Chain A
Amino acid sequence: MDAQTSLEHAATGITDERVVEVRGLRKAFGSNVVLDGFDLDLRRGENLMVLGKSGSGKSVLIKCIMRLLQADAGTIRVLGQDVLTLDQEALDRLRVRIGFLFQSSALYDSMTVEENLEFPLRRHWITRDPKQTDALVDEVLNAVGLPQTRRMYPSELSGGMKRRIGLARTLILKPEVVLYDEPTTGLDPITGKEIVELILKLQRAYNTSSIIISHDLNVAKLAANRIIVLHEGRNHVEGSYADLRASNDPVVRSFFIFM
């Protein structure tokens, strides 16, 4: 790392400690090879973005990191632990420290917003004390700016509101690492920008490191410290937003079509 970037990182609170390390990740569904030797490093405090077109395997990548999908080959270390070999109990303990914002928000339809937020607390045995639960729910609802939705059902919320509640549910466990699966997809640009700003605000407040998966260059521009382009299952290019902007690579250019 050169002196310039070191300085930048010091200013943004990025350290050299690696919180996520992926090496040679391979995942295929039958004959459909989705990831074929993908590498990734996430440093503490960093916002790493993985850019890839639809169907390139972005969701598959972070689901492998969370072990929602079993990788075929390679190694994945998160917060110093080898994800692929953990037993169920250790995996659950690790998952408390990793937040996951789902592409579709994934709020439980049969539960109110409040119950949605309490669910991870109760299930991970963080707390069952009603007062403490209440306080935590209040805190995250205020953090995402939706305290009035507490008793509502997900079906009564707009897409942007669902995304915010999804974010609140992710943050209620105070994760050290957060994986965002297309946080702005399906939202209008204004709401999308609000979500990105919220992510950045919460990131500072909760001091998280994140991997943001997207094909949205606005996210790249606003939030990413570093960008990896995922193409044909591998790391295609890596760099800052300015680097990609200046690139002549046809794959990279194709993301700038509308810019």
Chain B
Amino acid sequence: MVRGTAAKVTSVLRDAGELMAFAGRFFQQAFHKRFEWREFFRQCYINGTLTLPLVGITAFIMGLVLTVQSRPTLERFGAASMLPAMVAISVVREIAPVITAIIGAGKIGSSMGAELGSMKVTEQIDAMEVSGTNPFRYLVVTRVWSTTLMIPVLMVISDAIAIWATWIGVNIKDDVSWGLFYRQVFESLEFSDFLPALIKSYFFGFAIGIVGCYRGYGTEKGTEGVGQAAHSAVVTASLLIFILDLMAVQVTDILGLN
């Protein structure tokens, strides 16, 4: 039992170490002069469109549900007029970045794990190498850059959709014009609410890309390894997102931004 646990801990630590080494390799290659622009733009497009519908729908529902559920509590304290501001702040600071990243981990992380995994086991990565292409730069560097840059974009879009859904939620019981709602939201919302969220979403995007690629690129053991790569990419990326979120709240606290 104890030995089993120790072995597990060791393997998790080794895995973490290898992931760090993989990230190190990314940074070595990330600014190389022969950047694969074409593949990068293709990845941005794929990862953006792959995730946008789901992110949009979830953001809409989150905004709406949060508004409807927060109303009774706020009414009890006679603070129903605070509703737009309160929901908007939680959306911008936490809900949108984390939901976007988790959906990204599920959609993008798993598809990267599976795609690179099957490319590995069917020797497509070797074939690239033979064709005068550095497969790490072609496949990994472009993908990690694309998630790092696209997740924040998706987060901003989900901010907008969730706030719009909040307005709809408020109007289920009240009658608040868009103009008034807008003023209520943006008078309470500050740039210091938005900035830490934006910064952490770059880290989330990086985590999704690097974990998805690490799992896919390291696939072994034939086709069964592909499913495993996809699955463990989602699990690891989601876990990492929450760990990063925890670290982000500590940092903003220390910087006095909370």
Contact = CB atoms under 8 A, between A and B. Distances in A.
Contacts, number: 46
Given A107-B124, A108-B124, A109-B118, A120 B132 contact: yes
Contact of B132 (A95, A104, A105): A95
A106 B131 contact: no
Contacts of B119: 108-109
Interface in A99-125: 100, 102-110, 119-120, 123-125
B122 A68 contact: no
Interface string B128-147: 11111100000000000000
Contact of A100 (B115, B121, B124, B130): B130
B123 to A, nearest CB: 4
B29 to A, nearest CB: 13
A108 B129 CA distance: 13
> Would you call the interface of chain A mostly helix, strand, loop, or mixed?
loop
Given A109-B118, A109-B119, A120 B126 contact: no
A167 interface: no
Contact of A104 (B122, B128, B129): B122
Given A109-B118, A109-B119, A63 B132 contact: no
B126 A102 contact: yes
A92 interface: yes
Interface residues of A, number: 21
Interface residues on B, range: 10 to 19
Contact of A68 (B115, B124, B129): B129
Contacts of A66: 130
A96 B122 CA distance: 21
A109 B130 CA distance: 17
Given A92-B132, A96-B132, A123-B132, A104 B118 contact: no
Nearest to B42: A110
Contacts of A125: 132
Given A96-B132, A120-B131, A120-B132, A68 B118 contact: no
Contacts of B133: 119, 123
A181 to B, nearest CB: 9
B127 interface: yes
A109 B132 contact: no
A64 B98 CA distance: 45
A106 B129 CA distance: 12
Contacts of B126: 63, 68, 102, 106
Contacts of B131: 95, 119-120, 123-124
Contacts of A120: 130-132
A176 to B, nearest CB: 15
Interface in A124-156: 124-125
7 contacts: A92-B132, A104-B121, A105-B122, A108-B124, A109-B118, A110-B115, A120-B132
Given A95-B132, A96-B132, A123-B128, 9 more contacts: A68-B126, A100-B130, A105-B122, A106-B127, A108-B119, A108-B124, A108-B127, A109-B118, A119-B131
Interface of A: 63, 66, 68, 92, 95-96, 100, 102-110, 119-120, 123-125
Interface of B: 115, 118-119, 121-124, 126-133
3 smallest beta-carbon distances between A and B, as pairs: A106-B127, A106-B123, A120-B131
